[in-house]
Chains A and B, each alone.
Chain A
Amino acid sequence: MTDSGHNRVAGANEPLVRFENVQKTYDGEILVVKDLNLDVERGEFLTLLGPSGSGKTTTLMMLAGFESATHGDIILDGKSLKTVPPHKRNIGMVFQNYALFPHMTVHENLAFPLQCHGVDKSEQESKIDAALAMVELTGFERRRPGQLSGGQQQRVALARALVFQPQIVLMDEPLGALDKQLREQMQIEMKHIHENLGLTFVYVTHDQSEALTMSNRIAVFNDGIIQQLDDPETLYEKPKNAFVAEFIGENNQLLGTVKDVSGDRCTVELASGEIIKALPVNIGGVGEKSMLSLRPEVITVEPGSDNSCDDIHTATVRELIYMGDHTRVRVETCGNEDFVIKMPRGSGGRSFDVGQDIKIGWHSQDCRALDAA
């Protein structure tokens, strides 16, 4: 992947934000963020993705200034943020619960940051109008947050974070409280707003599909460490370790011991005795444990001779689930009872019986040998 998706500001090669060896602990015993080094490029949509407790929100809060880094420094636009209080950072933020001021109308909520930044009255009005138009809420100025739906509140929160033209906009799971349909619609809208404004967005979520939809780059957090930082495609197709493979999308995992490594292939022996060829990505030497990762969609059922599958195994069908656009086939193979295969609708139109033995196969390059997490 190239940087084609990034709206980089011409001539400014320096990253907008740089985390330098940042560590954070709340209790002096456990590091919530361990030695974080992260650059946020100008104009990019960067998502911090990870399970709860992985340190992603803490990272965001340190950037916003609500938490202080225990060690290390955060540089915004070439200046250390160590002594800059939150209200002087010029960072817009959208909160998980929106944090709209209930005693103010939509108009007053949007005017608040402009007043704080000393914007002229006349200029305030045009900026508020523009911000509300952007989130398609023109005409809602006099409403109070309590009179708005969840989706509308979310839009007001977004407009409020953008109206004073901050250098960077932070979002902490802003879509978490919305229902699925609205969430997906807002994802697309936020992506478009980002593309139109060319602002830098840093977005925190635990929802991997949200991250994949919107981001230019995704930093996958676990255990206070960035596990992988890549664009969505690379992250999904080329996970660097077992955690990323497991966290992003579905994958079938097979645990085994590395028998041999030669060039771009290795062989791994499973506990059940099968020998499997795999792409060595993140393994120790021969004799070390390795977790093999196979995406459900790379597996071919009953591969023909014309197919280039170079690893073919026998599997017993355990369960068939019709999902509309595809059928999930759960099989038992290589000692794994939960081995899932996705068969697209119309792919041969085969129907199996539970208990039937079938052949399954894959390209050995799609089988990624990762660390045994």
Chain B
Amino acid sequence: MASTAETDVMMAADGVPLKIKLRRAERMRKIWALGLIAPLFIFIVGGFIVPIISLMTLSVEDPELNEALPRTAEIFSQWDGEGYPSEEAMLVFAEELSTADRGEFGRVSKRLNYDISGFKSMLKATARASDELTLLPADQILQGFIDIDDDWEDQAYWRAIKGASSAYSDYYMLWAVDLKRDGETGEIISVDEGRAVYVEVLIRTIEISFAVTILCFLMGLPIAYLLATLPTAKSNLLLILVLLPFWTSLLVRTTSWLVLLQNEGLVNDLGIWIGLWNEPLELVRNRLGVYIAMTHILLPFMVLPMFSVMKSINPWHMRAAASLGAPGWKAFLKVYMPQCMPGVGAGTLLVFILSLGYYITPALVGGPDDQMISYWIVQNMGRNANWGLGAALSLILLVLTMVMFFIYNRFVGIDNLKVN
């Protein structure tokens, strides 16, 4: 019988078979648990982590020259950047230009055009004449280039080719923070003032996110407090009012604000009709519009975590504080608010992180100076087809988000995070 056999094993082999049996039983449970999470795990790895990593690698890749003109890339990378490249290098460059694939050539000329505008057309003209270049003797090759376009006399163009010769580079990462490598020395320097945009965009992104978070906190705190303290029937109604916009499409809500806040919109009409102001106020297509719309859209993310934490605070604590001699404000600050902190932390973190990545709302209700980093990611990935820069900006956004998360974890503690 099974029971006798088991007893025999236990007695015979000093407990080891029992452990094996236990492990076997546990293993089945582990496999079962793994099986349950497997679909989601595969989905996240395949649909989220792998694409993010592959996209992020674009920010440190600089492959165009290597793919289009591999020998040129190799020989230019050996050049020290002093004077002109060797005649041999120029010859290789001319040879490869004459045989380059059209598509690859297009990409490399676009890449080089990032460095010096006008490079693209110059390269095109050079390529057209490259067959003749290859026939020139070595000591006349530079002159041959200059004959095609005067600009070849400028060493900066040659250095730009060297700069693009490495398959991996910090080119796009530096660009994303308005920096570049100096062609002559290789030192990291600021880009020309006219081209510097992204640091300002980054600061603006943080500024808008911070302001929206503060606004959401100030407006969400009383609502969450009301929700937590009202009788259930009333608080449920209020909760539905808070959640209602939550269930409406982001685009609909944003465009509604556009309609409400525009010059001939409801708010302006009403204000003028009542006599609060005489001329239509600029309420939209500027920072104010961005703040109004984003605060409205993100408010539920602040209210819900605060509400769920406040709901769990014992209402007797306020009475206890009063009986101990604390006036209402003191009881609120010293007894109530400290207990709200996990909810406040969760709400502010959520709103701040969501704000960092906002795109549609500022794009619709903001002006040109109110666009956030996501707008520029879209611009570069879409219209400009500059994936490297787009990826670099995305990486900055991701790092920024993670930094916020770690700061939060350091000061509030992620264990305290409560989202319902």
Contact = CB atoms under 8 A, between A and B. Distances in A.
B143 interface: no
B196 interface: no
Interface string A103-139: 1000000001100110000000000000000000000
Given A86-B323, A87-B323, A90-B325, A116 B330 contact: yes
A117 B322 CA distance: 12
Contacts of B323: 64-65, 86-87, 89, 91-93, 161, 170
Interface in B308-352: 314, 316-317, 319-328, 330-331, 334-335, 338-339
B16 to A, nearest CB: 41
A93 B325 contact: no
Nearest to B330: A116
Nearest to A116: B325
Nearest to A157: B320
A99 B325 contact: no
B333 to A, nearest CB: 12
Given A87-B327, A99-B316, A102-B339, A112 B322 contact: no
Contact of A93 (B317, B320, B327, B338): B320
A64 B320 CA distance: 10
Contact of B326 (A92, A99, A116): A116
Nearest to A110: B324
Nearest to B338: A103
Interface residues of A, number: 28
A170 B317 CA distance: 16
B416 to A, nearest CB: 11
A64 B325 CA distance: 11
Contacts of B322: 65-66, 85-87
A97 B313 CA distance: 13
B336 to A, nearest CB: 10
Contact of A87 (B314, B326, B338): B326
Given A87-B326, A113-B324, A116-B326, A101 B319 contact: no
In this complex, the interface size class of chain B, counting residues with CB under 8 Å from chain A, is 10 to 19
A93 B323 CA distance: 6
B98 to A, nearest CB: 76
A170 B324 CA distance: 12
Nearest to B341: A103
Contacts of B331: 87
Contact of B314 (A97, A113, A116, A164): A97
Interface string A151-174: 000000000110010000010000
Interface string A54-98: 000000000011100000000000000000011111111101110
A99 B319 contact: yes
B316 A112 contact: no
Contacts of A64: 319, 323
B319 A87 contact: no
A294 B177 CA distance: 93
B31 to A, nearest CB: 38
A87 B335 CA distance: 14
A100 B320 CA distance: 8
B324 A116 contact: yes
Given A97-B314, A103-B338, A112 B326 contact: yes
Given A64-B323, A92-B324, A112-B326, 11 more contacts: A65-B323, A86-B322, A87-B321, A87-B328, A99-B320, A100-B320, A101-B320, A112-B324, A113-B325, A116-B325, A164-B324
Interface of A: 64-66, 85-93, 95-97, 99-103, 112-113, 116-117, 160-161, 164, 170
26 contacts: A64-B319, A64-B323, A66-B322, A85-B327, A86-B322, A87-B322, A87-B323, A87-B331, A88-B325, A89-B323, A90-B325, A93-B319, A95-B320, A96-B316, A97-B314, A99-B316, A101-B317, A101-B321, A101-B335, A112-B321, A112-B326, A112-B334, A113-B325, A116-B325, A161-B323, A170-B323
The 9 closest A-B pairs by CB, nearest first: A116-B325, A113-B324, A99-B320, A93-B323, A86-B322, A99-B316, A103-B338, A87-B322, A116-B326
